[in-house]
Structure 1
């Protein structure tokens, strides 16, 4: 079986590399690979905080790398014989799905684990959700051996995740891949607690063209879980807002749908993060699926520009005025909702707006430049 891993050498350690995974050590950024507290950098052996937490607390920390480095990291998986577990966020499905994953993993099977199902209203039909996920994944060119819905945080469906991994991995390593903020580290930590023998030395898996490393977490049968860093996608709202806004942006509990009956020429502001204009169409309802930490304001379209100019960062918040300076200016997206369709307007990292009416509509969506905005078949 192809492993691709190697022990960290003495020379690497002397050059300031982690004795656990081989990543170059640094003490500046806690959320970047290789972080070690300055007081511990001269210890023997010196290991990064991520490896320290895995080895001593059975807990993996979340780290992130940029898009190009992540693709180079993925490039080595096709040469292995492995099960690839791709974790996505149901609340931000299109934003967290790794586009083009299939061409990087080759013939290795892909298990799609869809996390955060607990955020949807309790009445959501699980079979419909699963069928929706399969259809969306297929449209992105992703071939999956199975789809599992779960909530790592609420421990919903995790037994099914374990069962699916056991069924599909055989005598192979398991690569876990995903974007940031999808709950990857929570799931990894559950796998570590259930399956890892951490008395063995951590190893590193190196790939051509990158200095970043995936961490091998030994399994009892001699194989390993390979925990890869999370990919940063700048098209997600969660990646471009200041840290102080994340608490309001990321839902922590079941979403309460917000229903608005709108006439044409009315506007909804989601804090100062996004704006929705109902430009043309018959009176109809629109349902917002967003975090309960965000506030929605309704106004007439003719007053929208003035309201934003006068109240952004105050009445219209989050973010506040100071935080707004760190966020790109809005870009307008004009969308036509076809008559007779059940449609969501998806804003990556923020949530989505469901067009409840069947009469069609012309709408404008304003979001920070670069944020992914699209129409899709209705999730709920």
Structure 2
């Protein structure tokens, strides 16, 4: 049996997959002769809430067909988790399509980083993508939404896309300011939320998760703790034989040949705890304090260490470079060179990049 709202095959096992209906709800509605809607469609229809979907090859094909029906695509990225929101598969789907880039959460960056510098850095990172313009926004501070709305008013229909926790739906609501309608889009299993502003129809889509970000592995409550907190920043000057944990899901070991130790800053949500220990004690500490002192995860049973596949990668880092861990945070080098060995969940994106934040600047934008 298929969902009457989106066409997904009804299933009762996995809430995160399309077509999920609790078995008792399914049996009750079927006995009453009522239409069977999956949980996602039911929530969209009755509460105007879009459930997230997993980016798979099948979903990618449907999304690719869907977005081509619109004049312009609004791709929302998160500046505080650029590598996680710039998902490789989604980037490939949108590569040659007509789109506007919206970079949200700029209020989280240090105040000294100028708007021009942020935009220039983003445009450099987007080389190879076709886009009309880049708009910097803060849904939390209501910054940049007016200029974005003026740009969208030039079109009859636009569609918003993006990963979960980037603030896509918050921007959509800031722009429209009206009650939304859930609209099943013909020929797809992807429902949309529609709002009309003057002569422009604006459509929102479910947020996408990919399991390429640490936040994707956490329970919804823990995701909320991370995504709704401000960024913290801490400066480190590790000695030889020291290890730094960024929560329980990322471990950093260091090696260097210089007399002076490296200096770097780590940016992450205020909910993420940093901890320095000796490398000789790191394995034991990780097991004992995982989900306790070392958070996220915020409970040991939320995400068992034994249930995860772990990987190790080593990077050579120098001054003016950053190392980003998708869905968690990034390390910004003030003094190098040094080597950093990263242990984290397999498939999570770990990327060395040109620095977004000048490591010698102070102050956090927006307080």
1:235 aligned onto 2:212: yes
| Matched-pair contact (CA < 8 Å) for 2:41–2:191 | no
Match of 1:117 in 2: 106
Using structure 1 for the length normalisation, give the TM-score.
Answer: 0.78
> Structure 1 residues 202, 313: CA separation in 2 closer, same or farther (over 3 Å shift)?
closer
For the pair 1:325 / 2:310, whether they are aligned, the reply is no
Q: In structure 1, which of residues 205, 226, 229 is the aligned counterpart of residue 203 of structure 2?
A: 226
Pairing 1:143–2:143 present: no
| Structure 1 residues 149 and 315: alpha-carbon distance in aligned structure 2, compared to 1, 3 A threshold | same
SS of equivalent residue, structure 1 residue 262: coil
Change (3 A) 1:329 1:190: same
Stretches of structure 1 lacking an aligned partner (at least 5 in a row): 1-13
Distance, in Å, in 2 between the alignment partners of 1:104 and 1:365 is: 29
- Tell me what 2:274 maps to: 296
What does 1:37-186 correspond to in 2, within 5 Å?
Answer: 38=25, 59-77=48-66, 79-80=68-69, 82-99=71-88, 104-105=93-94, 108-138=97-127, 141-167=128-154, 170-171=155-156, 173-186=157-170
1:68-123 C-alpha deviation (Å, 9 max, x unpaired): 23311232147535201111111111111143656645764210111122222333
1:256 alignment partner, SS class? strand
Return the offset for 1:276: 1.2
In the comparison of the two structures, how many residue pairs are matched?
348
Which residue, out of 232, 236, 240, partners 1:260?
A: 236
**Residues 236-262 of structure 1: CA deviation (Å, up to 9, x unaligned):** 0011134453344x2424323111122
The farther-off stretch of 43-52 and 97-106 is 43-52
Q: Secondary structure at the match of 1:111?
A: strand
**Which residue number in structure 2 is paired with residue 204 of structure 1?**
185
**Cross-structure match for 2:253:** 277
TM-score where L is the length of structure 2: 0.80
Separation in structure 1 between the aligned mates of residue 2 and residue 292 of structure 2, nearest angstrom:
50
Give 1:35 shift: 6.7
Rate the CA distance shift 1:378–1:369 in 2: closer, same or farther, 3 A: same
CA contact (8 A) 2:3 2:38 kept: no
Aligned equivalent of 1:335: 315
Residue 285 of structure 2 aligns with which residue?
Answer: 307
2:360 corresponds in structure 1 to: none
Which blocks of at least 5 consecutive residues in structure 2 are unaligned?
A: 358-367
In structure 1, what is the equivalent of residue 364 of structure 2? none
Q: 2: distance between equivalents of 1:70 and 1:272? A: 31
Greater displacement, 319-328 / 85-94: 319-328
Give 1:334 shift: 0.6
Q: C-alpha distance in 1, partners of 2:310/2:164?
A: 23
Match of 2:327 among 349, 370, 376: 349
- Helix, strand or coil at the partner of 1:356: strand
Structure 1 residues 94 and 314, CA gap change in structure 2 (3 angstroms): closer
What RMSD over aligned residues (CA atoms) do the two structures have, in Å?
3.3
Residues 251 and 223 (structure 1), Cα distance of their counterparts in 2 relative to 1, 3 Å cut: closer
> What SS class does the counterpart of residue 180 from structure 1 fall into?
coil
Per-residue CA deviation, residues 152-181 of structure 1 (Å, 9 max, x unaligned), is 2332221122122224xx33x212111122
Q: Look up the match of 1:3.
A: none
Contact 1:121 1:256 in 2 (8 A): no
* Paired position in structure 2 for 1:187: 171
Cα deviation, residue 136, structure 1 = 0.6
Q: 1:197 to 1:66 in 2, by over 3 A?
A: closer
Counterpart-to-counterpart distance in 2, 1:95 and 1:148: 19
Taking structure 1 as reference, are residues 276 and 96 closer, same or farther at Cα in structure 2, changes over 3 Å only?
Answer: same
